[in-house]
Amino acid sequence: MIIDKFIYANLPIILLAFFIFLKKLKIAKLISKMSVKIAGYILNASKK
């Protein structure tokens, strides 16, 4: 789909804008906690 190609092409920009938006809502702490959990899960999965 054209929309998918557009999203993939602009993914870094979308993520950056999304992160700034979250930061303005002051949910950055929650996101960082989730990121740590996800990173930990990925590390545990890669060790197996």
Q: CB under 8 Å to 31, separation ≥6 — which residues?
A: 19, 22
Q: What is the pTM of this model?
A: 0.37
Give the 3-state secondary structure of the chain. CHHHHHHHHCHHHHHHHHHHHHHHCCCHHHHHHHHHHHHHHHHHHHHC
Tokens of 5: 């190609």
* Domain parsing of the chain, residue ranges: 2-47
At residue 1, the pLDDT reads 65
| pLDDT tens readout for residues 1-48 | 677 887 778 888 888 888 888 778 777 678 788 999 988 998 898 887
Are the CB atoms for 22 and 28 separated by under 8 Å?
Answer: yes
